[in-house]
Structure 1
Amino acid sequence: MKDCLSCFRKKEEEVERKIRTNDLEYNQQFGYASNYISTSKYNVFTFLPINLFEQLQRVANAYFVILLILQVIPAISSLTPVTTAVPLVIVLSITALKDLVDDVRRHQSDNLVNNRKSQVLRNGRLTEENWMNVQVGDIIRMESDAFVAADLLLLSTSEPHGLCYIETAELDGETNLKCRQALVETAELGDDNHSLGQFNGHITCEPPNNKLDKYEGTLEWNGEKYSLCNDQIMLRGCVLRNTQWCYGVVVFAGQDTKLMMNSGQSRFKRTHIDQLMNVIVLWIFGFLVCMALICAIACGVWESYVGQYFRAYLPWEVFTNNPAEIASLVFLSYIIILNTVVPISLYVSVEIIRMGHSLFINWDSKMYYAPKRTPAKARTTTLNEELGQIEYVFSDKTGTLTQNIMAFNKCSINGKQYGDVYDRDGNPMDITEFTKKVDFSGNVYSDKSFTFYDQTLLDDISKGDENVTNFFRLLALCHTVMPEEKNGLLDYQAQSPDEGALVSAAKNFGIVFLARTPNTITIKDQDKEVTYELLHILDFNNVRKRMSVIVRTTEGKLLLLCKGADSIIYEHLSQNCTDLQTVTTEHLNKFACDGLRTLCLASKELDPNYYEEWKSRHHEASTSLEDRDEKLDVVYEEIEQDMMLLGATAIEDKLQDGVPDTIANLADANMKIWVLTGDKQETAINIGYSCNMLTDEMEDVFIVGAHSKEEVRVELANAFKKIKDMVGCRDVMIKDPRATSMVDMGDKEFALVINGHSLVYALEKEMEIEFLNVASLSKAVICCRVTPLQKALVVELVKKHKQAVTLAIGDGANDVSMIKAAHIGVGISGQEGMQAVLASDFSFAQFRYPFIKFYM
């Protein structure tokens, strides 16, 4: 099989990858992996030795193999080896058969994928090749609904402006379409096989890695150098949608593709029962050795003083008459005779019970979520018994405790708050259920299901209030949403529910996002269609916590439009916004107290001369192959200064059914509940009260929000001192966090809320014990503004210092590291894709299901 072993070839670590298109000889000198993949563990020759080695790592299996070896020695064995061999072979065979079936399925899946057909451009002609024969540097043609064979640099498409649409469900579980765009220069190659066959671009890019949302590289062609980023990359596993055809050049193949780099083995999770069984087997074996040793000593004594008189009548079939040597043989003989004290059926019984329990979980109709036809799923059969031993629950908030179905609820525009208007009877007044419908030919349209409770906002829009219009215009322009027509109506494909809710809100208030191209955004502004030139998108990330767009209006004005977290936006505002910032902050606090998710909006007009200078710096940063993201962040930071505050949005994210009751029951069962969320402190605290994690009966809710190491230490020390004084803790507890589990808290309850910037210091080695002591004495812990890495570090901290079983539950990609770190990982089938489910040990549709079934 051509180059099928190239992916296993040992080679020096790549620093950068160099590719020449349509030049296989040049590319092959670097030993790049072919497109052949293998996910199987064994082959015909390695199955028996490797599988047997894996099974002998279990103490019981190793013990019985040793016992079988002893039984085949006639001098010491009084039993036929069949008595041990038959059950041992059955046990090993059942496990081996299960592993064999699983691996055969992997081989079948690999063969199916490796033998898929792809149209490859060779010598200016399209030829049909199996996927496994595709090489780095090949140009591939794909048609609509086809799977992407390898990681490709998009060259040209059937759509205007070099656009194409892909579905990434196999990568991240998200079914909404994403847009990719070829370089303008290569898009002109079109569908001309001759021109594409002569294409001799030289690509220099990053080495293979597992970052799905990042790609850095450059393309040199016809004496020009072009920057490449993730917008031009189509990853293996994606599906081409709504695009007639496209061409791409292979940059990563086979095991080097980002899909395969992300499909590594999850850490092996061993239950406490498994560990206990191994310990028990060792103790039983020790007991067996002691009994055999006593019997052997007694035999040696008997042989020395009495046995010699009976040898004529009871001859030993051994080579010696020495009592010591006879005693040694008797020792081994008694090991065989008494071997039944270690039951070989122990592991078999446990495995059968586990499998049956898993089936009961899968079949449980009370955990079946009818609206989405989603049953419970035990994705592993080895962790079932841990479900009743959990002491710590780590939960995400958005999409796990809440529904992650966003609705535009309130807003603050230029210091004026809108939303929540009631009539004289205290009932909310629903006054904006628009009756007009939209079609693609003309009129402003809105959703009949959209509601907003404030007539004054509708009045201000009708009056043409400039501040209100600018507010919703920003929402219609600053996003990455893709429009799509469904059943004659405009539907939005958003990468996050938040963005979809905001763009839909703008649509329902008369600023309708209609279409986008790589260089333009078209909106319907109060019945007038307007096209803005899209110059730059300054992407959102977890560090920036904001996104911006730079657009040119039809009048030639340059506008920077930005939305993001309030704490970040405030740092980039003009000094002229101080008074407005104060009023808006009051509104944001009110929104947060209502449990709403908030964003701030800001904008500014750019000077054309300054923009041209900044544009050149941006181009230099975007074409850099070293530290591109850091350099771009610096350039983005430079232009996102002195902005004018427009207002803030508030989006409602309702709790899932049964969450408050479930959490209250868990707390009554003395289970520690920690919520790890990226939301702001006020919103997280309010959700804590809504779901009964925090109660008014608590003695105190400690908030740690300092920005320096010493201040964090002081706040933790003060919290610990107050708890110690109220419940009588001992000072020794500060050195041993396990002691907190033995403290009698009486009827006193505490809670801890810590921000992400404080958690950075709290997780450091010299302070982690102090943090863990306060957290362990708190009935509820909320960590807000945390990153995915911090979520995993918090779980690892508890596992490291506590002898307790942990469970992590979440629904998004940012929860995967936490789910893998915990003893038990639970994935929620929610709105944020399927990555959490794929990484989990158990999956459910609702937060309440696993806890109601296993802990109530």
Structure 2
Amino acid sequence: MKLCGDKLIEEERRVIANNREYNEKFQYANNRIKTSKYNVITFLPINLFEQFQRVANAYFLFLLLLQLIPHISSLSWFTTIVPLVLVLTITAVKDATDDFFRYKSDNQVNNRSSQVLIDGKLQNEKWMNVRVGDVIKLENNQFVAADLLLLSSSEPHGLGYVETAELDGETNLKVRQALPVTSELGADMCRLAEFNGEIICEPPNNKLDKFTGTLFWNDKKYSLDNEKMLLRGCVLRNTEWCFGLVIFAGPDTKLMQNSGRTKFKRTSIDRLMNTLVLWVIRLGHSYFINWDRRMYYIKKNTSAEARTTTLNEELGQIEYIFSDKTGTLTQNIMIFNKCSINGKAYGDAYDELGHKIEISEKTLPVDFSFNALADPKFKFYDASLVEATKLGDSSVHEFFRLLSLCHTVMSEEKNEGELVYQAQSPDEGALVTAARNFGFVFRSRTPETITVNEMSQPVVYQLLAILDFNNVRKRMSVIVRNPEGQIRLYSKGADTILFERLHPSNEDLMCVTSDHLSEFAGEGLRTLVLAYKDLDEAYFNKWQIRHHNASTALENRDEQLSALYEEIEQDLMLLGATAVEDKLQEGVSDTIANLTLANIKVWVLTGDKQETAMNIGYSCNILTDDMNEIFIVSGYTVLEVREQLR
């Protein structure tokens, strides 16, 4: 830590497991949270200060002061002070009530019970008494008490499943995995109590999708990232138990770092009206919102709820709506629809005479009965792709082999042949399921291996490296060694990114695939390009050493890893492309049409190709045939976008 003025600024965090004495030297925050603004002493001065920020209140106070001077005003001060005090009192009561509910909520959270490992035994402690460096036990369906490093779990290979809806609104389960060296600790209290690893990591921050740290234990160091963290606000699911080490507590957790302080909110109406009538209207308005039957969602038995009376009238003054596409306008349920393999497009349905037909509910899907492990819910309508798979087409086999290997999906097999995939991204789930039905069945994975059934034959691949996807790279790669000892890199990502990294010999195939991608995008489908590369053993061994050094570096880790990824993901060989459908949610088109009639402008943010985005735009009525000219923002930098918007 360094001193900046009167405040200590944390540059990096050092934590030793099971050592409160060492960790307390750094004065890390405890696990108590506080979202309420006031206490008994500060309520009156802070609340009055906030209320007199309103122009009308300040005006009447100034008027009152003038009326107290006989030589200036002949009016009685009583005529001003009564309505002013009345307004201030009613507002103060409302603010105090809102803050009291925040205080009760804080108390409820702070007094939740957690199992903390102290002196080799699990003891029940309140959440607010949990400290950085404590090892705690979580059980299925429990909220995570603090930001934890996952040490071990009841699942094989130290896996854990969490729901992150409280953090990012996503309901699909995320997979977390402990380091192999700590997953061996299991539920052995003696070994967990003796665990004394030191973690050096980033200081508290609000980045939910990023964590950088290093574990030092038994004279070795291990890279730590976000995939090994359980964040406060998550819920443990489908995992009987797990143990975690507290890295950030209370206000230092990423959840609280994102929440900010409770602010004094003012609406545009406040700037015009500051009367008792306004508060009566607001109170009545909030009840009307709660009672509105048209805002009741039957499927989840949920009605609208006005959580504050302060901002209700703003709903009638909205001019712009900024929306995400995936999961907001669309269902976020991905379906493998079409693909392009070695220059040939698959996915359309044909009749007996070979004529293309429209796919409807009456159209018969392809028969996957040749595959005992096929997913019965999966539907595909182009029989020629199944025939190519059965005939052993090498390009088709390599295409689906890539889909079965290049992902982060976890597989559960509770009964023989009954596979359940846990995917962090619906896209990945759809692609792995497609590979499964076409005979390349992802069965299981460990930190070192991936097992795939290829046309009913089990094949175990050695997993050598995973080159993660992120919003900058826009691609993901894995490096595996097959049973014959050959090392191969498989990559999937955006066409604009992978096309730049193809070997020059792929130019003709790239042109054909690009045409297919344009067709798929024009139908509103989400596309990815697939490619591979064979690696030389000697080169890879040297690259792997540099990769390990970069992944455990304490400084500039991301930059070093990015450079290594960029180096090895060159001269790729193109395999083809996938096209996945994400249907619109029910009622989206009508809702947007009604918003347009109310003169509300809707902006949608999407990472799709331009053709896909425009197709979706027409499907949901954001774009219409009445629009004479469609303005496309095509800038690649902040300055370019700002200039075009002007």
Which TM-score applies when normalising by structure 1? 0.69
Partner SS for 1:456: helix
For 1:62, which of 49, 58, 62 is the aligned residue? 58
Letter in 2 for 1:96: A
Partner residue, 1:262: 258
> Mind listing any 5+ residue stretches in structure 2 that lack a counterpart?
none
Q: Distance in 2 between matches of 1:241 and 1:662?
A: 34
2:248 is matched with 252
**By how many angstroms is 1:594 displaced?**
1.2
Q: CA deviation at 1:84?
A: 4.3
Q: Which of the numbers 191, 194, 198 marks the counterpart of 2:194? A: 198
Match of 2:645 among 764, 772, 779: 772
> Which amino acid in the other structure matches residue 630 of structure 2?
A
- How far apart are residue 453 of structure 1 and its match? 2.3
Shift in CA distance, 87/225, structure 1 to aligned 2, threshold 3 Å: same
**3-state SS of the aligned residue for 1:646?**
strand
2:39 equivalent to 1:39: no
Aligned to 2:629: 750
Residue 89 of structure 2 corresponds to which residue in structure 1? 93
- Structure 2 CA distance for partners of 1:601 and 1:431, relative to 1, 3 Å: farther
Shift of residue 216 of structure 1?
1.3
Q: C-alpha separation between the residues in 1 aligned to 2:358 and 2:227? A: 48
The aligned residue for residue 329 of structure 2 is: 401
**In the TM superposition, what is the alpha-carbon distance from 1:642 to its structure 2 partner?**
1.4
- 1-side partners of 2:509 and 2:18: how far apart? 59
Structure 2 CA distance for aligned equivalents of residues 139 and 752 of structure 1:
55
Residue 459, structure 1, aligned to residue 338, structure 2: no
Quote how far apart the aligned CAs of 1:218 are: 1.6
**8 A contact 1:467–1:646 mirrored in 2:** yes
Alignment of 1:128-139 (within 5 A): 128-139=124-135
Letter in 1 for 2:185: L
| 1:632-660 Cα distance to aligned partner (Å, 9 max, x none) | 11111111111111111111223344544
In structure 2, distance between residues paired with 1:195 and 1:666: 60
CA distance in 1, matches of 2:88, 2:415: 58
Partner of 2:405: 477
Is 2:368–2:437's contact at 8 Å kept on the other side of the alignment? no
Contact preservation (8 Å) 1:434, 1:447: no
Q: How far did 1:92 drift?
A: 2.1
**CA distance in 1: counterparts of 2:271 and 2:118, whole angstroms:** 57
Note closer, same or farther for the CA distance 1:431–1:506 as it changes in structure 2 (3 Å cut).
farther
Report the alpha carbon displacement of residue 583 of structure 1 after superposing the two structures with TM.
Answer: 0.6
Q: Distance in 2 between matches of 1:772 and 1:671?
A: 18
- Report deviation, 1:42: 0.9
Please, which of 587, 594, 599 is the counterpart of residue 528 of structure 2?
A: 599
Tell me, in whole angstroms, the C-alpha distance in 2 between the residues paired with 1:592 and 1:456.
22
SS class of match (1:592):
helix
Q: Which residue of 464, 473, 487 maps to 1:558?
A: 487
Taking the TM superposition and a 5 Å limit, the aligned residue runs for 1:350-749 are 350-378=278-306, 380-423=308-351, 426-428=357-359, 430-432=363-365, 434=367, 436=369, 443-448=372-377, 450-484=378-412, 489-660=418-589, 663=592, 672-695=601-624, 698=627, 749=628
- Once the two structures are superposed, residues 50-84 of structure 1 have per-residue CA deviations (whole angstroms, 9 ceiling, x without a partner) of 11211121122233344455666788887776654
**Could you list the per-position Cα deviations for residues 726-760 of structure 1 after superposition, in whole angstroms to 9, with x for gaps in the alignment?**
xxxxxxxxxxxxxxxxxxxxxxx322112251x53
Alpha-carbon distance, 1:697 to partner: 5.6
Do the aligned partners of residues 155 and 362 (structure 1) sit closer, same or farther apart at CA in structure 2, a change above 3 Å counting?
same
Residue 483 of structure 1 deviates from its aligned partner by 3.0
- 8 Å contact from structure 1 (residues 483, 491) kept in 2: yes
TM-superposed CA distance for 1:566, in Å, is 0.6
- Identify if the C-alpha distance between structure 1 residues 508 and 152 changes in structure 2 by more than 3 Å, giving closer, same or farther: same
How far residue 373 of structure 1 moved from its aligned partner, in angstroms, is 4.4
**Amino acid in structure 2 at the alignment position of 1:461:** T
Q: 1:170 to 1:389 in 2, by over 3 A?
A: closer
CA deviation digits over 1:78-128, x for unaligned, max 9? 777665444433322222222222222222222222222323333334333
Aligned-partner residue type, residue 506 of structure 2: C
Aligned match of 1:21 in 17, 24, 42?
17
Q: Aligned partners of 1:226 and 1:644: how far apart in 2? A: 33
Tell me the distance in 2 between the aligned counterparts of 1:434 and 1:110: 56
Pairs within 5 Å for 1:327-342: none
Secondary structure at the counterpart of residue 630 of structure 1? helix
Q: TM-score, normalised by structure 2?
A: 0.90
**Residues 272, 374 of structure 1: alpha-carbon distance in 2 compared, 3 angstrom cutoff:** same
Amino acid at match of 1:273: I
Query: Which deviates the most, 30-39 or 651-660?
Result: 651-660
Cα distance change of structure 1 residues 268 and 99 upon mapping to structure 2, 3 Å threshold: closer
| Cα distance between partner residues in 2 of 1:244 and 1:657 | 36
Take 2:185 and 2:269, find their aligned partners in 1: how far apart are those partners? 63
Change (3 A) 1:97 1:224: same
The question of whether the paired residues in 2 share the 8 Å contact of 1:431 and 1:454 is answered with no
| Pair 620,508 (structure 1): closer, same or farther in 2 beyond 3 Å | same
Shift of residue 273, structure 1, vs aligned partner? 2.5
User: 2: CA distance between counterparts of 1:199 and 1:179?
Assistant: 24
* Alignment partners' CA distance in 2, 1:41 and 1:359: 25
Secondary structure of 1:180's counterpart equals: strand
Say whether the 8 Å CA contact 1:434–1:446 is kept in structure 2: no
User: Match of 1:772, as an amino acid?
Assistant: L
Query: The residue matched to 2:133 in structure 1 has which SS?
Result: coil
Shift of 1:228: 1.8
Match of 1:247, as an amino acid?
F
Q: 1:134 to 1:369 in 2, by over 3 A?
A: closer
Equivalent position amino acid for 2:629 in 1: F
| Higher deviation after alignment, 172-181 or 66-75 | 66-75
Instruction: For residue 352 of structure 1, report the CA deviation from its aligned partner.
Output: 2.6
Shift of 1:475: 1.6
Report SS of the residue matched to 2:332: coil
**Amino acid of the structure 2 residue aligned with 1:528:** Q
Shift of 1:392: 4.2
Evaluate the alpha carbon distance shift between residue 669 and residue 56 of structure 1 in structure 2; reply closer, same or farther with a 3 A threshold. closer
Whichever structure has more helix as a proportion of its residues is 1
Match of residue 229 from structure 1: 225
Check whether the contact 2:35–2:261 (CA below 8 A) recurs between aligned residues.
Answer: no
1:551 alignment partner AA: V
- Name the one with the larger strand percent: 2
The aligned residue for residue 306 of structure 1 is: none
- Does residue 51 of the first structure (1) align with residue 47 of the second (2)? yes
Q: The residue matched to 1:225 in structure 2 has which SS?
A: strand
With over 3 angstroms needed to count, the CA separation of the structure-2 counterparts of 1:666 and 1:36, relative to structure 1, is closer
> Could you tell me how far apart the structure 1 residues matched to 2:254 and 2:168 are?
12
Task: Choose 1 or 2 for highest CA Rg.
Answer: 1
| Corresponding residue number in structure 1 for 2:640 | 762
CA-to-aligned-CA distance 1:245-280 (integer Å, 9 cap, x gap): 333322211211112111114876644333334xxx
Q: Give the letter for the 1:538 counterpart.
A: L
Tell me, in whole angstroms, the C-alpha distance in 1 between the residues paired with 2:404 and 2:502: 21
Per-residue Cα deviation, 1:484-508 (whole angstroms, up to 9, x for no partner): 4689953333222222222222223
